[in-house]
Amino acid sequence: MTTVAMKIGIRAFGALLAVCAAGSRADVPPVAEAALIPVWRGLPPGASASDLKEQDTVMPGNDRVVRNVTRPTLQPFLPEAGTANGTAIVVCPGGGFRYLSIDTEGLEVARWLSAHGIAAFVLRYRVMPTPADDGDFAGQLGALLAPLFGPGINDEMKRLGPPAIADAQQAMRLVRRRAKEWHIAPDRVGILGFSAGGVVVTGISLQHDAKSRPDFAGAIYPGPWDIGKVPKDAPPLFIAAASDDALTEIGAKPLQAAWQQAGHPVETHIYDRGGHGFGMKQQDSDSDHWIDQFGEWLDKQGLLKAKK
CA count, 13 A, side-chain hemisphere, 170: 23
Cross-sheet strand order for the sheet of 55-59: 55-59, 63-67, 99-100
| pLDDT score recorded for residue 4 | 29
Domain 3-300 has CATH 3.40.50.1820: yes
| pLDDT score recorded for residue 240 | 98
| pLDDT score recorded for residue 62 | 82
- Walk along the chain (308 residues) and give the pLDDT tens digit of each residue: 333 233 334 344 444 444 444 565 545 554 445 789 999 998 898 888 887 899 999 987 788 999 999 999 999 999 998 899 999 999 999 999 999 999 999 999 999 999 999 999 999 999 999 999 999 999 999 999 999 878 889 999 999 999 999 999 999 999 999 999 999 999 999 999 999 999 999 999 999 999 999 999 999 999 999 999 999 999 999 999 999 999 999 999 999 999 999 999 999 999 999 999 999 999 999 999 999 999 999 999 999 998 76
- Domain residue spans in the chain? 3-300
| pLDDT score recorded for residue 243 | 97
